[in-house]
Every structure is written in structure tokens, then in C-alpha cells.
Amino acid sequence: MSARARIVGWMLAVVGLALSVSIFATWTILLARLDDRMSLELSNEAEKLRRYAASARDPATGHMVTDVEELLTGYLAINAPDRWETFFSIIDGKADRITAIPPPVRLDTDDALVARLARATRPDDGEVESARGTVHYAVIPVTVRSDPRPGHFVVAILYDRHRDEIADAMRVLGISALAALALAGAAGWFVAGRVLAPVRLVSQTAEQISDSTDLTRRLDVPGDDDVAALAATFNHMLDRLEHAFVVQRHFMDDAGHELRTPITVIRGHLELMGDDPRDRAETLALVTDELDRMNRIVEDLLTLAKAEQPGFLDLHDVEVADLTVSVVAKARALGNRRWRVDEVAEARVPADRQRLTQALMQLVANAVRHTTDDDLIAVGSAVRDNRIELWVRDSGPGVAPAERERIFGRFVRGAGRTVMYEGAGLGLAIVRSIAEAHGGSVRVTDAPGGGACFVMNIPMWDLWGASDEPRPRALTAEMGPVRVACGHGGGAGEPDLDRRG
């Protein structure tokens, strides 16, 4: 059974139950009120007879009535019964008069009943079965001092006829309830279809995606209800899936592109390897070198793939000043350069220290490849506009403006290398992925005095949101009063701080 049918079924069940309870309660209340009305009517007739008897007079003489038969006949003449009601009198144990209006049932012809009613010495009521159903009655003894004959006034109300009227009303109410239930079912079916349409669209879209590789389809569900939230969640899941497939495809394309060449080289040399020990040693050295290069490529590709996934960063508070100085200390072993710390920011930022170190070391290694001995390579950090800037600059040939965006792509090798380095062209792509994983970016500009300056820009996030500490101020490193930031001044006339490897 579909969700639409279940929703409408449950709705009809609840509405039907509510209507049934309402009809049953109405029936019970109306029957209770009918009983109360019967009792009130019988009491009212007794009270009217009592008032009449207290003031009844003979029309001929004007004196008080002295005959019980005359009293009851006069009362029957002026008091007309209501619908489904009849009056009659009993004189001296026998039925005497009945109302002029044809009664709905003749109780005065039932001798046994009349005899039983004639024995009443006090007002009494009860019920009796007749050919027309149950009859409620009241018998009122009537005596006149000057007339020794006993008299009785009988009020009879056909209870079943009144109850039948209520039953007819309930029948009409039940039919109306069924019609309303049918209309509610039709309306509920229509509304449930409209409400569940986005859910069906989710199912159809998921089925289409499972049968194809198209992950670009999205759901368009306006509003802010639960169904719209479901559609938004599904769209977000599709975004993640599409992104994951793109990353996977890039990884496969990149791996196939870059690993094909070293594999071909290794296979070719192994096929041509002879029995000469020297030839074997040269081949093994070449194969080992190619395998090392393949290992570096695979590690770089895995880093790029992981950068697109959750959990790539292990965030902790990072002391930016310590990070800057430690990178320079590690970088000195990469080459005989004039190492410098431009500026350090005494600040803490939520970040992954290992990834930031990896990115800065990639930039430093790139600077080493584009410089020669005794060239300048400087590392610095600063806080500007609530963001952390980390940079590496050098005095090499720089980067042409046309190349400044392209070099951050995968497998792109820039010009101007000063050393032989057969890298895969993934270093700067890794730097960009690390910066973007931190919510930042990376760019390259001209360094003061010539050369290239690579700048990573990272937001400080909620650094001061829950802290009473003052905002950080940019401080000069203890290695010297040098403030040379890319694009922020500085010049060739400032003193150098040599840190040679």
C-alpha cells in the first residue's frame, strides 16, 4: 500500500471514529432529553389539571363543579393533546371520555389496563406496550367531595413515535456524515498527492540516478515545511555525491595520466635489461628512481583527493608565530639560500598545523627550485582584516601575470626552474587545496624588489568569539626588525637577516 493510501486511510479512520462518537453521543443525549421531556410533560399535565379543578365552575349555574364526570369532561374539552399524545378519563372504574382529536393509540379500550389504572389512589406513571409501540402514561386520581364516584385522568404519550423522530434525525445525520467522510477522503487524496509529490520526485530522481551516471539533477520544492527540508537534504546529498564522483574521476584520470609514463619506462628498461652486472645495476637504479617518483605522485594525488573529503583537517589552535619560524628552520636544509623571516603574527588560529606546514614547505620547495645559491627566500605571517596571511617570497625570476592562475592547476609546471626537477606539477595544486580546505585562498604576486610572492589567506573564524583575550598584533620576529610583506611596502633598503643552510 502506498504512503498516499495509508495517509488517507488513517485520516478516514480517525474522521470516521470521530463522527461515530459524535453521532452516538448525540443519540444518547437526545434520548436522555426525550425521557426528561416525557417526565416534564406528564408533570405539566398534572399541574394543569390541578389548576383547572381548583377554579372549574358549572357554566349553567356559575357554581363550583360538584360532579367528577363533569369536571373531567370539561377539562378534556378545553385541553387538546400534543402530537403523539392522548387523554382519557376513567369514572367509577370504567373508561368514560377521550379527546376529540383522534388518538394515535387507543388505551381506553384495554379493559385490563383501565381496571389497573382505576385502582390508583395517588398519582402514578409507567409504561405499557401497545400496537404502536411503547407508551408512557401518567394516571391522576380525581375526587369531588359531593360526588362519591372515583375519577382518574390518564395522560398517554407514544414514546416510540418520538424516538422514531430522533432515529430519523440520526439517520439523516449518519448519511450526511458518510457524505462528508467521502468528500474528506477525496480532498485528503488530492491534498496527500500534492504534499507527497516532492517525495515521489525524490524517489523518481533517485531511481533515475541509480540507472545512470547523471548526478546533476536537483529537486525544486518551494516552501519551508518538512517536505521542502527533505528535498533540500536530498539535494545536499546529491551535491556531496556529485562532488565525490568528480573527485574520484579526477583521481582516476590523474593517476592514469601520470602513472602511465613511469610504468612504461620501467617496463621498457626491464625488457631490455641484459645479463651484464653493470647494466643490471643501472637499470635497477633507474627503476628505483621511477618507483620513488611514482610514490610521490600517488601521495600527492591522495592528498588532493583527501582535500575534497570531510575530515581532511585536524583542527587545533595553532600559534602562527611558532609555525612561521618553524617552517624557516625546516626549510634551511633545502638549499644554500639567504633565509629570512619577514614578519610574524602573534596570534592563534583554528587550523591544521601539519597541513599548513605542508603547504608552506611546498611553497618553500618551489622557491628553492626557482632560485640559485645566495638568492633570498623569506617567510612571513601577519593579521590583516581579521584574516591570517602566510607568505613565501623569493628573489627569483617571478611569475608572469598570464601564468599566475594557471600554475595552481594540476600537472602544470611553471617556467624558470633553475634546477633539474622532474616533478608532477601537483605541489601548487596541493597548496591551493589546503588553503581552500581552511576556507581561504592562495595567490601569487610580485615580491618587493623582484621575484615571486605566494600568499595564503586564511580566515580566523571564531578566534575571539568565546575569548576575552585582546586581538593579536603583528610583531616582528626576534630575528630582526624586518617588515617586508608582499604588496604592503618594504624595500630593498631594509636589512637582510641571513639564515644560510
Q: Are residues 429 and 337 in the same domain?
A: yes
Interior CA angle at 219 toward 437 and 204, to 5°? 120
Q: Residue 170: what pLDDT?
A: 92
SS3 for 385-412 is CCEEEEEEEECCCCCCHHHCCHHHCCCC
Mean per-residue pLDDT, 247-259: 67
74: enclosing H helix or E strand: helix 68-78
Any domain includes 392: yes
Domain co-membership, 21 together with 161: yes
Residue at 59 is within a domain:
yes
Q: Does residue 336 lie in a domain region?
A: yes
Task: Say if residue 325 is in the same domain as residue 415.
Answer: yes
Please check whether residues 297 and 444 belong to one and the same domain.
no
Per-chain mean pLDDT for the chain: 81
**pLDDT tens-digit map of 131-166:** 888 899 999 999 888 888 999 999 999 988 888 899
pLDDT value of position 311: 76
Cα–Cα distance measured from residue 29 to residue 314, given in angstroms and rounded to the nearest whole number: 72
What angle separates helix 226-272 from helix 277-307, to the nearest 10 degrees? 170
In a domain, 496, yes or no: no
- Residue 203 in any domain: the answer is no
CB atoms within 10 A of CB 20: 12
Q: How confident is the model at residue 2 (pLDDT cuts 50, 70, 90)?
A: confident
Query: How large a percentage of the chain has pLDDT more than 70?
Result: 83
Q: Which residue has the cell 495509508?
A: 6
Residues 266 and 288 occupy one common structural domain: yes
Q: Among the three residues 307, 342, 374, which one is the final residue of a domain in this structure?
A: 307
Residues 280, 370, single domain; the answer is: no
Any idea what the CATH number is for the domain that residue 295 is in?
Answer: 1.10.287
- In the prediction, which pLDDT does 276 show? 79
pTM tops 0.75, yes or no: no
Give the confidence band of 187 by pLDDT, cuts at 50, 70, 90: very high
Higher pLDDT, 497 or 35: 35
**Model confidence pLDDT, tens digit, residues 396-455:** 888 888 888 888 877 666 555 444 445 566 778 888 988 988 889 999 998 888 889 999
Q: In 163-250, which ranges are E strands? A: none
DSSP characters for 131-174? TTEEEEEEEEEEEETTEEEEEEEEEEEEHHHHHHHHHHHHHHHH
Asked if residue 80 and residue 138 are part of one domain, the reply reads yes
pLDDT confidence tier of residue 38, bands split at 50, 70 and 90: confident
Neighbours of 208 (CB within 10 A): 11
Percent of the chain with pLDDT over 90: 24
Q: What is the span of the domain harbouring residue 328?
A: 316-475
| 260 & 371 share domain | no
CATH number at residue 353: 3.30.565.10
pLDDT in tens, 299-326: 777 776 677 666 788 888 899 999 999 9
**Residue 97 lies inside a defined structural domain of this protein:** yes
24 and 131 housed in the same domain: yes
pLDDT over threshold 50, residue 290: yes
Asked whether the predicted pLDDT for residue 211 surpasses 80, the reply is no
| 237 in any annotated domain | yes
Structural domain total, the chain: 3
Tell whether 377 and 433 lie within a shared domain.
yes
CB 376 within 8 A of CB 355: no
Residue 177, domain member (yes or no): no
Helix count and strand count (H, E) for the chain:
9, 14
Q: How would residue 471 be classed by pLDDT, with cut points 50, 70 and 90? A: very low
Of 165, 185, 205, which residue sits at a domain end?
A: 165
Q: Could you say which of 147, 165, 183 is where a domain stops?
A: 165
In whole angstroms, how large is the CA radius of gyration of the chain? Answer: 53
Does residue 378 share a domain with residue 260?
Answer: no
Same domain for 244 and 384?
Answer: no
Residue 447 contacts residue 398 (beta carbons within 8 Å): yes
- What is the band of 485 on the pLDDT scale with cuts at 50, 70, 90? low
Report the 10 Å Cβ neighbour count for 395: 23
Q: What is the CATH number of the domain that holds 31?
A: 3.30.450
Order of strands across the sheet that contains 452-459:
338-341, 376-384, 387-394, 452-459, 441-446
Q: Which amino acid is at 456?
A: M
- Grid coordinates representing 335 are 638549499
How wide is the angle at C-alpha 286 spanned by C-alphas 283 and 290, nearest 5°?
135
- Strand bridging mode 344-345 / 147-158: unpaired
Cα–Cα distance, 70 to 233 (Å, whole number): 93
State residue 91's pLDDT score: 92
Residue 351 is given by DSSP the state E
